[in-house]
Copies of this chain bind each other. A is one copy, B any other.
Amino acid sequence: MNDPVNVLILSAGTRNRIVDYFKKELGGRGMVAATDCSPLAPALYAADRSFVVPPVGSGAYLEALLAICRDCGVKCVLSLIDPEQQVLAAHRRDLLETGAVPLVSGAEEVERCMDKYAMYRFLKRHGFSVVRHYVDRETFYRDEEAGVVRYPVMVKPRRGSASLNTGRAVCREDVDLCFRLHADLMIEEFIEGREFGVDAYVDLLSRKPAAIFAKEKLRMRAGETDKSRSVRDEALFDLVGAFLGASGLVGVVDIDLLQSGGEYFITDVNPRFGGGYPHAHECGVNFVRLILNNIAGRENAGAVGEYEEDTFMMKYSEATLLKKTDLIGEAP
């Protein structure tokens, strides 16, 4: 008999859907374990086994993670949040020694996704259309005076996520005010256009795109895609394919794009399941199956754009209710 294919989902948070997708795809061939640093993460209660762990980056974190991998016989470990990707990439060897394959890109590739300015320079160097970024205010002011870039611009953290601390500046005073209030900011050209999101899976074995799903974002909520429409556009698929090839990223990649003047601009890259992934999955673009194939040593064939166009995804809230005594770990 084969060993069970146990999967560990880190920082599961409110992503009950991802836990459910793994449980369904495994169909009893293995269990799904989940972690979070809060006992009030509802996805913990959707998993087969759950653990409240120290926060990512804290001293006790890594040992707790490795212990769970060993104790649960984990075959594949992945995280649903950005900061944890770097930890998985940095400790790939430790994880492999426990028998768990980390579903993560290399440390350098992950770091480039975390640093929006580094990603901007990477895109520019590789000839992709870019939205201008500045970390140096004086360079921006010179470009603005020369008419290279115009107000309004967005001022945001170089390493931010979920639109936190993002402001719109219409003049030099606004920009200066933002920089007085926060550190490590960058200035981003504001381009009006339609927003798109791409869910891609790069095969761990062939290192080629095994699936690409694209959607137009119709509405955002708290930085997450709330409503979207599936789209198929060869120009978009080609751009994403070229980017993935250049990027060196593997596994699940979530890409934000802007379409303006008939051109696509890559605006953000997250090396993990995006919040809008359920749209792809419900359309039959099943990354979970691709992951489990890879973990079993099977390569996936490429399947770019194999889904129906003009399907609409709309999110709504469900609620989990628990008694204090049923919480994992200590109640807050």
Contacts from A to B (Cβ < 8 Å): 14-17, 40-43, 218-219, 221-222, 224, 227, 275, 278-279, 282-283, 308, 310-324, 327, 331-332
Contacts and interface: CB of A to CB of B under 8 A. Distances in A.
B321 A282 contact: yes
A40 B314 CA distance: 7
Nearest to A16: B316
Given A221-B222, A222-B221, A317 B14 contact: yes
Contacts of A319: 17, 278-279, 282, 313-316
Given A308-B323, A321-B283, A324-B310, A315 B14 contact: yes
A50 to B, nearest CB: 13
Contacts of A16: 316-317
Contact of A317 (B283, B318, B321, B327): B318
Interface centre among A218, A316, A332, by most chain B C-beta atoms within 10 angstroms, is: A316
Nearest to A46: B316
A279 B314 contact: no
Nearest to A224: B317
Contacts of A331: 310, 312
Contacts of A312: 40, 321-324, 327, 331
Contacts of A311: 321-324
Nearest to A308: B323
Interface centre among A43, A310, A331, by most chain B C-beta atoms within 10 angstroms, is: A310
Nearest to A14: B316
A172 B282 CA distance: 52
A283 B332 CA distance: 19
A213 to B, nearest CB: 12
A302 B275 CA distance: 43
Given A312-B321, A316-B319, 15 more contacts: A14-B317, A15-B316, A16-B316, A16-B317, A17-B318, A42-B314, A42-B316, A218-B332, A282-B321, A308-B323, A310-B324, A311-B322, A311-B323, A313-B319, A316-B320
